[in-house]
Chains A and B, each alone.
Chain A
Amino acid sequence: MAEAIIESMPLSRQVRTNPAAKNADAAARVAITAVAVFALAIIFLILIFIFKEAKDVFFDAKKRDQVLPTLFMMPANENQAVWTPISKNPKYSLMPMLLGTLKTTLVAMFIAIPISVLAAIYTACFAPRWVREIVKPAIELLAGFPSVVLGFFALIAIAGFMQRLTGADYRLNAIVGGIAVSLTAIPIIFTIAEDALSAVPKAMQEASYGLGATEWETAFYIVLPAAYPGIFAGILLGLGRAFGETLIVLLAAGNALIVSWDFLVPTKTLTATIGAEMGEVVYGDTHYNVLFLIGVFLFVFSVIINSIAEFYVKGRLMKKFSGAA
């Protein structure tokens, strides 16, 4: 009977512990939990405090009338400027920047997705061990490039090269920015896709070989589809990285407020607008509020993308493999 009770006790109770240590233990538990909860709170603090600086756009009647009607205004013709925050008759349309972010992100993803997914397939399915041991640290290296360095490279090398290639009128444009941004998305997509591909159970591949499939057929028709959720998660996180990139587009995309689907004209993104203009605004000004509003957009969008990647995709991946294995 007594033994049964001792058995059922948690391990730490069965031996004698000095009371001071017990108190210290209890205090430590409270302190550690408090710190962890504060880490949790930071994400809310970020939202609260960037919204706090943006809220006048909604709650100050005068600013609201100034900003909200023009927020998504399209220019009537090519020469009309719709983002004129410091003119006498200010307009705050985010359309040029929304379009700019869309263009550079599209270019970046268009380049990053095929390259990184194919490279991940090679690394996970075909590569000999020694190649893998070169490729993986190399990609980690690429992930470690500071974005200002990639922006510098885009400025001195990619811009000139692309201008010769496309014959564009402008050296800096959405294509140049997008190419440089793709270099930040590639390591993310590659790493997650490679993980997902490597996690596909060996038994599936062996079954495929057993049925007479070749190595590449197994890789493309068996392993790749099985890893789709993981690859999709990688693409989403790469996308989040691409549209949130600031320094590269600030340096290499040209920073002109042109509303156009032409990828070869200078382009200003949402992030570059904050980066370029926040240093010059007057604190509490409408312009200041709108820049913070852009920050709120960026924040909410990144959280949505990350949440989809986390909940939906991870859940599906787990279910799939726990069912298969």
Chain B
Amino acid sequence: MKKVLGVLAGGSTLLAVALILAIIVIIMSSIVSGGIGRLSWNFITTPPTEGLTEGGISTPIYGTVLLVLLMSVVGIPFGTITAVYLSEYTSERSRIARFVRFAVSNLASVPSIVFGLFGLGFFIQFVGVGMDKAFAPEGRVIFGKESLLWAAMTMAVLTLPVVIVSVEEALRNVPREYREASLALGATKWQTVTRVVLPNAVGGILTGTILAVSRGAGEVAPILFTGAAYSAQTESVTSKFMHMGYHLYILMTQSPNVRETLPVQYATTLVLLMLTFALNFTAIFVRYQFRKRLIRA
């Protein structure tokens, strides 16, 4: 009796793991087999044509790249500095540190669509409209509308916790002795942070950046109404832009003939998936390498 129970209990846990792995394999193989036929160099380098049923996805790729670049320029320094504060400038028990940590963990759990609302309510309606009132010639709308700029800012806020957590972990892995040695040589805290601690935490900053970029390339909800467009020529940061995830969403829901675009949908999904996987694996690899190096040192 006990043995039967044991086999059942142990077996059910093994089954659960097998099920998860199977699901991953099924999703990947169905997307790869569905998309590989359409995938070509041409698909990546030409813009969509014929009501999205023909052509490639060069403009969505271009828009995604612009979005994650702009997002990183703002989000990575911001996240890194916050992580430096948490790891270097306060003790674990300081009240502000606890508040910041709590705020960051909450930020990570807020639904992504709410970030979209925030982008619309804060960046576009408050900051953008405010900037127009102050700088734009009478009656012109330059900043107070959906644009690449505000979508990138929204995405920077969304990915902030990812950056903070990765960088902070890396900072904590830098051995205490490094800091003590630097301080003992007469360096100030700031010198120690910039010349000793941060160079040894580059791996963490890199990991955080890659994970944030991977998130930024795939998240659609925050850009639904902050700047993504069905079709756009992005000429400046105040233009709208196309985005791979959003493009896929449009293909599935709003193209004139959904069935006809199915091969394009598969291929777009495949490109998006390959991109996020490449990024995620690089992040895992970089983190692993740097951890190893520090442990050896």
A residues whose Cβ falls under 8 Å from a Cβ of B = 11-12, 15-17, 21-22, 24-25, 28-29, 31-33, 35-40, 42-43, 45-46, 49-50, 52-53, 114-119, 121-123, 125-127, 131, 134-135, 137-142, 144-153, 155-157, 183, 186, 190, 214-217, 219-220, 237, 240-241, 243-247, 250-251, 271, 274-275, 278-279, 283, 291-292, 295, 298-299, 302-303, 305-307, 310
Contacts and interface: CB of A to CB of B under 8 A. Distances in A.
Contact of B189 (A25, A43, A52, A127): A25
A303 B102 CA distance: 10
B117 A216 contact: no
B214 interface: yes
A6 to B, nearest CB: 13
B114 A298 contact: yes
Interface string B114-130: 11111011100110000
Nearest to A217: B6
Given A40-B99, A310-B105, A118 B13 contact: yes
B103 A42 contact: yes
A50 B17 CA distance: 40
Contacts of B284: 137, 140
Interface size class of B (residues with CB under 8 A): 35 or more
24 contacts: A16-B186, A21-B191, A25-B191, A32-B81, A37-B96, A42-B107, A43-B103, A118-B16, A119-B17, A138-B20, A138-B21, A142-B23, A145-B273, A152-B265, A152-B269, A153-B31, A157-B30, A214-B2, A215-B10, A216-B5, A243-B111, A275-B224, A306-B105, A307-B106
B99 A35 contact: no
A32 B164 contact: no
A279 B221 CA distance: 12
Given A119-B13, A156-B265, 10 more contacts: A36-B82, A53-B120, A115-B19, A115-B20, A122-B14, A135-B21, A144-B218, A144-B277, A190-B20, A271-B221
A157 B115 CA distance: 29
Contacts of B253: 250-251
A268 to B, nearest CB: 13
B30 A156 contact: yes
Contacts, number: 285
A236 to B, nearest CB: 9
B62 to A, nearest CB: 18
Contacts of B219: 146-147
Nearest to B5: A216
Interface string B64-85: 0000000000000011011011
Interface string B220-254: 11001100000000000000000001101100110
Nearest to A278: B225
Nearest to B270: A149
Contacts of A215: 6, 10
A50 B225 CA distance: 14
